[in-house]
Structure 1
Amino acid sequence: MTNFETVSPEKHNQIRIDESKLISQFSTSHLVNIEIGEAIQAAGEYPLFFSKVSNANQWALSALCGLAPGENVFEIKQSWQALYTPLSLKTLPFTLQFETAEQEPTVLIDTHSPAVSHSEGEALYLSTNRPTAYFDNKKKLLKERVSAMSQTASILNEIAELGLIQPVDLVIEFSDNTQQRVGGLATLNEHRIQALTAEELNTLNQKNVLSVVFNILGSIFQVNRLIRFHNTKFPDRSVSNIKFETSKS
């Protein structure tokens, strides 16, 4: 369970962050947020899907990293199997809290993160109570993500308005001949993409969205990698295949 506190030199000048322990925190996320600006890199590692943001009629883009909540198969024996780490993971164990649009956001730290230590890792503050270079870099990444989230929301809204997002169910076929259906995800509608007008294609291309769309579409082949890692981590629940069916909901 998380426990966020406002970061301050008075309270956290003895805190250190052991980045090697963050992998333990990664291991509990089966869906990892991806921003549009990193989608091309992420598509080379993970299968990318859309999902609805909780309590909002907005779409989010995520890397599917596990076949069940709380499972991330890209973490195997405390080792991260992907070369690219999403921004949403690189900012851990920190997040930003926004009071008002006019005020600077507050930096929060999850004190229950396995990476938080009093003896190992990177300090947050110098003896003068000034932020260390490490902490300054983390804050820079947090601000970068805020900007990226705004861009992502805008572009995903445009993609949705063009009718390119299609709900899909994952039908997981296990080696013991049992099946499990997973809903709540969406992918790109290939037929709708093929039907885009020249004007629509040109607009997407001018906004540098077209290449992102095709990379997200092609990321579906990373499901084979997901299966391989799943079977390595959970050999007692090995998967033989994953099929995609248009959601009836």
Structure 2
Amino acid sequence: MANHVLLTSDDHRTLRITSERSAALGDAVMSCLIVPSEFRRVQNEYPILFRLTPQRDRFQALAMFGFEPGENLFLAGERSEARYRPLALEIQPFLIGHPATDGGDKQIHLDLDHPRVATGGEGVRVFDDLGRATPYLETIAAQLGELDAGWQASEGFFAALARHELLEPLTLEITLADGSTNRLVGYHGIAEERLQQLDTVALGELHADGYLLPVFMALASLANVAELVERKSRRGDLRG
């Protein structure tokens, strides 16, 4: 269970964070939430799919790491083979907290129960001996800021996708080594045919709002599905 607290130099002067990557440290996940501002970086590695929230009131974008819960095909022991890790995964165990006062700056919170919080003397320091933020914490703060700005801007992006009907249901079928077929359902992708039918006015609006590039990045990212299948095949889980 999560144990979120406000990060302070007084309370967490000796805090260390484990930087290795492993299943035990929370990296064994099949997908991660992403924001449109990072689609260009994500599409170099992962398929980008969309899925309704559990409340089914809006869509979220996901970088896909595998085909079943707990499967991260980029994870190799205590390292990640991916060249880019989405912000929402990279900033763990930190998260964005609400401002202490109305109109104030947002705060950095910490999940004390996250497995990446080091219990011994190893790991990366968050504060130095004088209570100043280390370069590691400064990097985390910048990533949190980028992620928060991305969340704030994503509402307009998803509204544009809905307005132009640019999302369509997408089913991925994966053939297993025993010949059976698994189906990954419940996801959406960019509707390529609908995108091609948009007139110059609609395309101009999407471009002016900064939404056209992430749309194309999400569409291009589907080429990475074949790479995911190949990764799974190399692990002996799929037929070649």
- Unpaired runs of 5+ in structure 2? none
Aligned partner of 2:175 in structure 1 is 173
1:36 corresponds to: 36
The CA deviation string for residues 173-194 of structure 1, in whole angstroms up to 9 with x for no partner, is 2121112222221001111111
Residue 198 of structure 1: how far off its partner (Å): 1.4
Q: Which one-letter code corresponds to 1:6 in the other structure?
A: L
User: What is the identity percentage for the equivalent residue pairs of Structure 1 and Structure 2?
Assistant: 24
Residues 26, 115 of structure 2: 8 Å contact kept: no
Q: Which residue type is aligned with residue 105 of structure 1?
A: K
Judge conservation of contact 1:27–1:73 (CA < 8 Å) in 2. Answer: no
Counting only pairs closer than 5 Å after superposition, residues 1-249 of structure 1 correspond to structure 2 as 1-21=1-21, 24-25=24-25, 27-55=27-55, 57-98=57-98, 102-117=103-118, 118-233=120-235, 235=236, 237-238=237-238
TM-score calculated relative to the size of structure 2: 0.89
Asked whether the equivalents of residues 21 and 27 of structure 2 are also in contact (C-alpha less than 8 Å), the reply is: no
2:21 and 2:80 in contact (8 A); partners too: no
Tell me which amino acid in the other structure corresponds to 2:60. A
Q: Is the 8 A contact 2:168 2:189 kept in 1?
A: yes
Displacement of 1:119 in angstroms is: 0.9
Report the TM-score when normalising by structure 1: 0.86
Identify the range of structure 1 (216-225 vs 127-136) with the bigger mean alpha-carbon deviation.
Answer: 127-136
Q: Which runs of 5+ in 1 are unaligned?
A: 241-249
Q: CA deviation at 1:150?
A: 1.2
Deviation at 1:14, TM superposition (A): 1.6
The verdict on how the C-alpha distance between 1:17 and 1:167 changes in structure 2, with shifts beyond 3 A counting, is same
Amino acid at match of 2:147: R
Between Structure 1 and Structure 2, which shows a larger proportion of helix residues? 1
